[in-house]
Amino acid sequence: MEDTLLNTLRDGLREEIAQYGQLFDLATREHEILAGETSSTELAALAAAKLNIMRDINDLTMRIAPLKVRWKLETSDEEQGPASSDIRPLLEELGTLLEKILDVDEENQRILSRLVGAADARAANRKLTTASAARAYDQAAAKS
């Protein structure tokens, strides 16, 4: 692979790592908020920021994906030359970062499920309490 394309791939991977790093920071902040059961307003702002970063990542991925494929096809472990020797560590760093993001997001989903389940239980309890109060009122009214 030509040096110009390697440089483009290298720069793209570094940018991708930086953007995924921002996404990881947002996911971590989201986790802190969910664990503390704080404001949904901040969660909405984080979701919007995550969406913007995901759009940027998508655009970047579309630009460098063909270079990644070409590098992988043209380079084997034995043939890796000095010009492309820093590509593999960047790909490994990216993979590690993606795993960390997935771990935090999975935990966030578990917390959200518990919170939604608790909210559903509270709503069901309110309905049950309201229905019980209505029955008690009806029974009291029937006895009078």
Q: What is the largest CA-CA distance in the chain?
A: 94
Among all chains, which residue has been given the structure tokens 């579309």? 62
User: What's residue 76's pLDDT?
Assistant: 65
Say whether pLDDT at 69 is over 90.
no
Query: How does the average pLDDT of the chain come out, rounded?
Result: 80
Which amino acid is it at 107? E
Does the residue 51 lie in any domain? yes
Does the residue 65 lie in any domain? yes
Does the residue 97 lie in any domain? yes
User: What's residue 137's pLDDT?
Assistant: 56
The CATH number that applies at residue 53 is 1.20.58
Domain residues for 37? 3-111
Does the residue 20 lie in any domain? yes
Does the residue 122 lie in any domain? no
Does the residue 16 lie in any domain? yes
Domain count, the chain: 1
Taking the C-alpha atoms of residue 36 and residue 129, their distance in angstroms, rounded to an integer, is: 28
User: What's residue 97's pLDDT?
Assistant: 95
Taking the C-alpha atoms of residue 37 and residue 30, their distance in angstroms, rounded to an integer, is: 10
Q: Give the rounded percent of residues in the chain with a pLDDT score beyond 90.
A: 40
pLDDT single digits (tens) 80-134? 565 567 888 999 999 999 999 999 999 988 888 887 776 665 555 555 555 555 5
